[in-house]
Amino acid sequence: MSPSTYNRKDEASVNTLRLLAVDMVEKAKSGHPGLPLGAAPLVYALFTRFLKHDPEAPDWPDRDRFVMSPGHGSALLYALLHLSGYDVSMDDLKNFRQARSRTPGHPEFGVTPGVEATTGPLGQGFAMCVGLAMAERIMAHLFNRPGHDIFDHNVYALVSDGDLMEGVAGEAASLAGTLGLNKLICVYDDNHMTIEGSTDLSFTEDVRARFLSYGWQVIVVADGEDLQSLNLAFENAIAEQDKPSLIMARTVLGAGSPKAGKPEAHGEPLGPEALKAARQHYGYGDKEPFFVDERVRNNFLERAKTHTERRKRWEELLDSYGKEWPELRAELDRRLAGLLPDDLEIRLKEALTFPGDKPVATRTAGGQVINALSTMLPELVGGSADLGPSNKTLISAGGSFLPLNPGGRNIHFGVREAAMGAVLNGLALSGGVIPFGGTFLVFSDYLRPAIRLSALMKLRVIHVFTHDSVGVGEDGPTHQPVEHIAALRVIPNLCVMRPADAHETGALWMVALKRKLPSALILSRQNLPVLDPSEYPGVIDGPAKGAYVLKEADGSPEALVLASGSEVSLALKALELVERKENVRVVSVPSFELFEEQTPEYRESVLPAVVTKRLAIEAGVSFGWEKHVGERGVVISNEDFGFSAPAEVIFDELGFSPAKVAEAVNKLLG
């Protein structure tokens, strides 16, 4: 359909979107009318002319993705989904922002059909789209065959001033430019207005020049109400073969209402009078709230039909693909279903061998796991925020993921931890890939906003955080995590795992792969003894339970020594110096979360309530360990920042030496 076909039906449809959105906000007595009023033409043009989707099949793998990065514009999105034919009813619209509704305050992935990502924290949606576009390229490269472009879709985002001010968006935009992600098309709702007032106060940069500097195509639409210009812009963006595109569309916050162009239009209901004025402005002055003209409804439904036809043609293509390449088809189905290869766990165990006589850093063991998995699990994609050689996350023979090498297995995120987190979320959202990303544990702080979203969305994203304690040594306190393990443990739905040795590392990587939730693997920089499974049989199957008896006492234990990660072998060494060591049980605790998931009986068997003499060791803050050691318990921890020195010196000075731990255990035993 050519732009010249725009007519009054289109205009009426755009205005209906606007008014539905502001009616929703008004009824909820809460929400954001300003963005919908200004940006409705932008998403209308996209959804009705360009977006490849089928409201009847919101999970169609080759659909275009659309993400509303300024999630506060949710009312507009829901109105659009409703009219487009998604399973979002008029009642749902009227239930906007109410408990357990399909129309929560900000778009939530998994709650509403057609919502591709949870958004709200600005910048994150934009950055997730970079991951979505990378996933498209990866899947297309692997699965497309001549005449069978199984994957060929675009990723669209609506973005706002706030999104583009956020650093995570800058990072992601630069990465997208380097990668030449031409299927990424962002529409910028350029309304010159922020909550505190005009962008003159805080955001005077030349956004067009900035995106050109990143290597993007930038298309300016001087009037965001002009559907024909918007159409041309989308056509040019779609035609671009080498670069991502930014369409800058000049809009007015709260357009058509008396609050137009004022910050007050942003985040609260218009109120009856302004709403009435807006309704009149848009030609529906005599209509009730939530009114939808039949003509408007039909306008959307006609398009829905063509969408469904298109999707069905894709399914036919997939059928013929399956006949010609049955193995590829089976692999595709497995990956899209998020299933691991049946024999993966066994093969991984076979592939990993850790001689007991050679100490191995868990980061190194982690690297061995990734490299072993790289051939067994082709959907594993990832990289590091420019610390690959240190994180040991590089796939040796994998090559670099670059525009000319879409099959490269190593993603170079650059020194961009925040964007890496969001991109990993986008990769996971797209389906068919299992993403991982590495950086130092101390920099996990930069990823928290993205980790939180992955936890909210329940995405299988695997974070590899190495250099896990003051064991970092000479780099000093800026690089020594102290509070980070505890700070990650508090995030709901995130599984934090700190393996004690190479065997635990392999076992816990497998746990991360099996979970359909985000995981954080916390790995050591320094070498650690490999626990001999013949002496410590628990080390193979115990880690997955979160805590397990590593070394049993003779008879009923008088005291428990709990430890995680590098402190487990310290506990074993210390025990050799303890007078009544045979009375002590040593428990390895790689994961609080996994342990919580066990039965009360199992937990009691590992940590019997009757044994109140308990000591925990972890080179980090003790916060949270009280739960496991109880009131009379002792924690050998690290309550202050570290310092720059060789690791052994630091550990010794902070009390993490066999002698000092043994002294504490002796004292505990009395």
Enumerate the active-site residues: 417
* CA dist 6 → 12, 45, 150, 570 (Å): 11, 10, 32, 73
Residue number with CB closer to a copy of itself (384 or 569) = 384
Provide the 8-state DSSP code for 15. H
Nearer to a copy of itself, 177 or 437 (CB): 177
DSSP state for residue 65 in the 8-state scheme: E
- Nearest distance, CB of residue 20 and a copy of itself, angstroms: 18
The most distant pair of C-alpha atoms in the chain lies apart, rounded to whole Å, by: 89
Residue closer to a copy of itself, measured from CB, 113 or 533 = 113
Task: Give the residue with the Cβ less far from a copy of itself, 279 or 614.
Answer: 614
Tell me the C-alpha distance between 24 and 290, whole Å: 8
Q: Which residues of 47-71 are buried (b: 16+ CB within 10 A; e: fewer)?
A: bbbbbbbbbbbbebbbbbbbbbbbb
Q: How near is the Cβ of 383 to a copy of itself at its closest, in Å?
A: 8
- Give bridge partners of residue 561 from the DSSP assignment: 586, 615
Q: Work out the end-to-end distance of the chain between its first and last CA atoms, rounded to an integer number of angstroms.
A: 84
- 3-class secondary-structure state, position 158: strand
Report whether 633 contacts 563 (CB < 8 A): no
325 or 643: whose CB is closer to a copy of itself?
A: 643
| Cα distance between residue 183 and residue 420, in whole Å | 19
Q: How far is CA 392 from CA 131, 205, 386, 396, 428, in A?
A: 22, 39, 11, 10, 22
- Minimum distance between the CB of residue 188 and a copy of itself, rounded to whole angstroms? 14
Q: Is 591 left (phi over 0), alpha (psi -120 to 50) or beta?
A: beta
Q: Which is nearer to a copy of itself, 21 or 513 (CB)?
A: 21
Token pair belonging to 663: 């002294």
The nearer residue to a copy of itself, 431 or 477, going by C-beta atoms, is: 477
Q: Identify residue 271 by its one-letter amino acid code.
A: G
> Least CB distance from residue 257 to a copy of itself, whole Å?
19
Spell out where 593-658 has E strands: 614-617, 634-636
* Smallest separation (angstroms) from a copy of itself to the CB of 503: 28
Q: Nearest approach, Cβ of 554 to a copy of itself (angstroms)? A: 27
| Rounded CA separation 464/473 (Å) | 19
- How far is it, in rounded angstroms, from Cα 530 to Cα 549? 17
Helix axes 444-457, 124-143, angle to 10 degrees: 70
Q: At closest approach, how far in Å is the CB of 117 from a copy of itself?
A: 11
- Give Cα separations from 291 to 21, 26, 454 (angstroms): 11, 14, 37
In this complex, which beta carbon is closest to a copy of itself, that of residue 421 or of residue 543? 421
Element (H, E) at 557: none
- CA dist 257 to 23, 37, 350, 619, 651, Å? 13, 8, 67, 58, 64
Closest CB to a copy of itself among residues 129, 482: 482
Q: How far apart are CA 256 and CA 40, in angstroms?
A: 12
Closer residue to a copy of itself (CB): 55 or 123: 123
Report, in Å, the least distance between residue 129 CB and a copy of itself: 16
Give φ, ψ of 220 to 5 degrees: -100, 130
Residue 45 structure tokens:
């043009």
Q: Measured at the alpha carbon of residue 658, what is the angle toward residues 654 and 662, in degrees to the nearest 5?
A: 100
Bridge pairing between strands 548-551 and 584-588: antiparallel
Q: If we measure between CA atoms, which residue out of 10, 65, 20 comes closest to residue 41?
A: 10
Q: In angstroms, what is the minimal distance from the CB of 491 to a copy of itself?
A: 5
Looking at residue 477, its amino acid is P
DSSP 650: H
> Do 336 and 428 touch, CB atoms closer than 8 A?
no
CB of 568 to a copy of itself, least distance (A): 22
Of the two residues 385 and 561, which places its CB atom closer to a copy of itself in the complex? Answer: 385
- The radius of gyration of the chain from alpha carbons, rounded to an integer in Å, stands at 28
